[in-house]
Structure 1
Amino acid sequence: MKIKKNIEKIPGGMMVVPLVIGAIIHTIWPKADVALTGVTGSYMVGTSVILFIFFFAVGTNINLKSSGKIAAKGVTLLLGKVILAAFNASNGGLYVALMTTIPNRDVDVAAYPFFSIQSGPFFTMITLGLAGIGAFPWPALVSTLVPFVLGMIVGGLDHDMRDLFSPLQGGLVPFFAFTIGYSLNLDMILQSGLVGILVGVLVVFVSGYVLYLLDRYVVRSDGLAGWAASSTAGAAVSVPIVIAQMNPAFKSTAGSATAIVATSVLVSAILTPIVTMWYYRRLVKKGKVTVAHSAAAQTPTPAK
């Protein structure tokens, strides 16, 4: 039975299918993690633990000589998201998992910590003129960098360790995707209606196109990372409530805004992998990227 091949017939299938399964289970059985408890229950809500292992494995495959390119790409994507104030929270887990399923994207994956800080309410507060209330999330940024740095050190010191941990990247993707899906609920679509769906579609195509342009013409890459960063982060669901708590003027709209953002998270989580894989296949067809995996970080060939 060709399970993997059948799943991969769907664009971004190894990411999308487990994610949708997780969302369906959470919608039908929202307390599944509590009921199952133990190892299974902990796994269903263990996104952070899987991320640490995932980022460590990615780090072992990073070439330190690519650090300048990594920082440039990460900061560029960060600024692009922040400028698009309404869409400034990108699903970093989705981005990393998606880019890991594509060959030779180590630089793109390693750029994630540099733009991960845009996934919370910090930059939204700046946009609303409330920057004095928030604090720069240095601990969150450092926490994201730790597994990458550890992996880079271990992989750089011993190629046998790199060979041991690097292959974990692909195998962890469906497990991580499921935990993302389990944090979502299909009922949110009914609560927000067409507005939430429209926002999700706009987030993918508007922010995705801007980030694609920045990645292609500023970073001088092929633009694929821009499309992969076009989603809405799950953490963004909490932003309307946080803002309302800090400024009562927003309390009346916090509920509806939360439903809209939640729908955007779900819609973009499904649509972003599809669009990204479509563009990747287009690059492959034009001969702009190779399809063979590399043991070290590669700099993508700029699209022409």
Structure 2
Amino acid sequence: MRIKASIERIPGGMMIVPLLLGAIITTLFPDMGKTFGSFTGALMTGALPILAVFYVCMGATINFKATPYILKKGGTLLGTKILTAMGIGFIAAQFLGNGMISSGFFAGISVLAIVAAMNDTNGGLYMALMGQFGKKEDVGAYSVMSLESGPFFTMITLGVAGLAAFPWQTFVGAVLPLIVGMILGNLDKDMREFLAKAVPVLVPFFAFALGAGLNLQNVWKAGFLGVLLGASVVLITGLSLLLIDRLIGGNGIAGLSAASTAGNAVGVPAAVAAANAAYAPLVPSATALVASCVIVTSILVPIVTAWWAKRIGVKSQIV
């Protein structure tokens, strides 16, 4: 059986399939974790410890010795993505506050969901598209952009929007696993290779644990709204990234390739709520919306990027 290959045919499959599996189990057997307890219960409720390990391993892949070009390209795209999310989050905060819409078509939407969906780029998708339409240096720019991973910048954005005050210890705690990983990976290349192998392996495990905290009825309700939010991520961040990429001498392809939502972002609402319990009621709907964005942006970004490449006369390097 080709289970892995079948899952990977689905955009964001290694994140989405385990997440949906966990949600299905919890919806059908809500007390399963408590009933079996032990390791089974821990797996269904242990998203945060798994995410902590994931961020250490992710940090190990970031090289301090990135070239000036990589720093310029990656830093510019990173800053633009974060500032765009921050601006949209600030505007949304004027209408939503630190809660969410409870009824109507937009039921479930919150600043937490919006910012989490916009803050983090799908690195695998970006590197695949740049490998097809860009340069090797552009692929390497993700080593800088991967600093988006985790809840750190989302918490900063929420703070700037005036929605939450996180103590400095919380900020340090959110980014410390990533920093530890970066230090280990740069001190020892063997350690980098060792930890880097765990990054893709951990994704389905924390996705399953996150899914186990979801009710499929909420996911279903978020479905079409998730499609709209995903399209908005591509449109809003895509335009800003396209413009800034061209301003620094690029052709815009790298910018558009970064206009997606990373699978890692699905874990951000839960991580933020762990730092500030006021966001706990928003986690199920925000997680469902971000999961929808992962799928939608994974489909739209390659289409938009390929269209733009054709328009400016850039041919695919993959025949």
TM-score normalised over the length of structure 1: 0.69
Alignment of 1:242-281 (within 5 A): 242=278, 262-263=284-285, 265-280=287-302
Aligned-partner Cα distance in 1 for 2:182–2:39: 29
Deviations 1:133-171 (A, max 9, x none): x42443332122211111111111111111211111111
Closer, same or farther: CA 138–117 of 1 in aligned 2, 3 Å? same
| 1:225 matches 2:258 | yes
User: Residue 36 of structure 2 aligns with which residue?
Assistant: 36
Which residue number corresponds to residue 297 of structure 1? none
- Overall identity of the aligned pairs, in %: 28
SS in 2 for 1:183: coil
**RMSD between superposed Cα atoms in Å:** 3.7
Cα 1:52–1:102 shift into 2, 3 Å: farther
Structure 1 unpaired stretches of 5+ = 244-254, 292-304
1:77 aligns with 2:81: yes
C-alpha distance in 1 between matches for 2:10 and 2:209? 20
2:172 is aligned with 1:148: no
2:133 counterpart residue number: none
Shift of residue 186 of structure 1? 1.4
Could you tell me how far apart the structure 1 residues matched to 2:64 and 2:315 are?
Answer: 24
Deviations 1:70-92 (A, max 9, x none): 65544433322232233642447
Q: Could you say if the C-alpha distance between residues 36 and 68 of structure 1 is closer, same or farther in structure 2, counting changes exceeding 3 Å?
A: farther
Describe the shift of the 1:266–1:225 C-alpha distance in structure 2 as closer, same or farther (beyond 3 A).
same
Residues in 2 aligned to 1:102 and 1:13: alpha-carbon distance in whole angstroms: 16
- Relative distance call for 1:234 and 1:150 in structure 2 (3 A) is closer
User: What is the match of residue 153 of structure 2?
Assistant: 115
SS at match of 2:171: helix
Structure 2 match to 1:173: 203
Q: Which residue of structure 2 lines up, in the alignment, with residue 49 of structure 1?
A: 49
Partner of 1:183: 213
Q: 1:99 aligns with which of 104, 116, 123?
A: 123
Range that drifts further, 76-85 or 45-54 = 76-85
Task: State the shift of 1:228 in Å.
Answer: 1.3
C-alpha deviation, 1:269, in angstroms: 0.6
Deviations 1:10-61 (A, max 9, x none): 1111111111111111212223222221122112221121112111111111
Pick aligned residue for 1:212 from 238, 243, 247: 238
**1:208-233: CA deviations, max 9, x gaps?**
32122233333664333332169785
Summarize the Cα distance change of 1:163–1:198 in structure 2 as closer, same or farther, 3 Å threshold: closer
- 1:43, 1:288 → 2: CA distance? 45
Query: Secondary structure of the equivalent of 2:255?
Result: coil
Q: Kindly tell me: are residues 197 and 12 of structure 1, through their superposed partners in 2, closer, same or farther at Cα, counting changes over 3 Å?
A: closer
**What's 2:10 paired with?**
10
**TM-score for both structures, normalised by structure 2:** 0.66
Give the unaligned 5+ runs of structure 2.
93-109, 128-138
Deviating runs (4+, > 6 A) in structure 1? 287-291
